[in-house]
Amino acid sequence: MSAEHLLLTVDDVDDHNHDGGVMKFQIRDLRKVSDAGVPILNGINVGIPKGKIVGIIGPSGSGKSTLLRALNRLWEPPSDTVFLDGRDIVDLDVLGLRRKVGMLFQLPVLFQDNIRYGPNLRGKKLTDVEVSKLLTLADLDSSFLSKTGGELSVGQAQRVALARTLANEPEVLLLDEPTSALDPISTQNIEDVIVKLKKKRRMTVVMVSHSIKQIQRVADVVCLLVNGEIVEILKPNELSEAKHPMAQRFLQLSS
């Protein structure tokens, strides 16, 4: 399949509430080779539609995290490959980029004043009321204001980490298996928050997950990554129709 066929358009996204075809990210022929000369990303061509949840699934080692990390320059992509709102991200101020493009990892690492940290860096002091609002957004009550990191369960800590990311008012949320360490209830809480953020704040979300069911619950469109290539782009309810043999095998074993 040629690269042009894999350019994601808003028509691929089964939802009427779109922004007239606006892409938040455009990724063009993104490649990465390891120091040992092994290809990690093999020419990624895809658009990430504004205000949508794009799921990324694929076998272990297929390059999902590397792709995600390219979007906020945790891995520095080559110039002319990743564009945010039409601008090459390597030309942007890296801290400004990371405020706009927040990231949540698999396991949260926390300390008490974390939520205030990002705004503080920008000289903005959040009041207790503002912090409470962020906690509410992440489905936590204000009692969490006075709790230290050690008093939180992993699920609560992940929601506090989400509130911390949201304190920067990001336009894009990158999620790297954000619920893989959580129980089903905490997982559902995080999924609900993600969907709410998309609906209420029209946030763009790119989510890596090993859970096909999770991707089917939250994503508007799904990219299947195999050996550093997006081999198919499907709607969540069409995943069983994947044609690439590795993608079929992965989906069969995962379901």
Ligand X SMILES: Nc1ncnc2c1ncn2[C@@H]1O[C@H](COP(=O)(O)OP(=O)(O)OP(=O)(O)O)[C@@H](O)[C@H]1O
Please give the residue ranges that form the binding site for ligand X (CB under 6 A): 34-35, 40, 58, 60-66
Between residues 58 and 77, which has the closer beta carbon with respect to ligand X?
A: 58
Please state the closest distance from residue 37 (CB atom) to ligand X, in A. 10
Concatenating the DSSP letter of every residue in 33-85 gives E-TTS-EEEEEEEEEEETT-EEEEE-STTSSHHHHHHHTTTSS-PPTTSEEET
C-alpha to C-alpha distances, 23 to 50, 55, 119, nearest whole angstrom: 5, 15, 27
- In this structure, what token pair is assigned to residue 2? 């040629």
Task: Output phi, psi for 56, to 5 deg.
Answer: -125, 120
Between residues 10 and 234, which has the closer beta carbon with respect to ligand X?
A: 234
Q: Are 193 and 162 in contact (CB under 8 A)?
A: yes
Between residues 36 and 129, which has the closer beta carbon with respect to ligand X?
A: 36
Please state the closest distance from residue 142 (CB atom) to ligand X, in A. 35
Please state the closest distance from residue 73 (CB atom) to ligand X, in A. 14
Q: Are 177 and 207 in contact (CB under 8 A)?
A: no
Between residues 6 and 167, which has the closer beta carbon with respect to ligand X?
A: 6
N residues, the chain: 255
Please state the closest distance from residue 79 (CB atom) to ligand X, in A. 19
**Residue with structure tokens 């974390």?**
114
Please state the closest distance from residue 229 (CB atom) to ligand X, in A. 12
Burial of 206 (0-12, 13-18, 19+ CB in 10 A): buried
Between residues 34 and 143, which has the closer beta carbon with respect to ligand X?
A: 34
Sign of the torsion formed by the C-alpha atoms of 246, 247, 250 and 251 = negative
Between residues 10 and 223, which has the closer beta carbon with respect to ligand X?
A: 223
Between residues 66 and 158, which has the closer beta carbon with respect to ligand X?
A: 66
Please state the closest distance from residue 64 (CB atom) to ligand X, in A. 4
How far from chain centre, in Å, is Cα 142?
Answer: 26
Please state the closest distance from residue 60 (CB atom) to ligand X, in A. 3
| Helix or strand (DSSP H, E) at 221 | strand 221-226
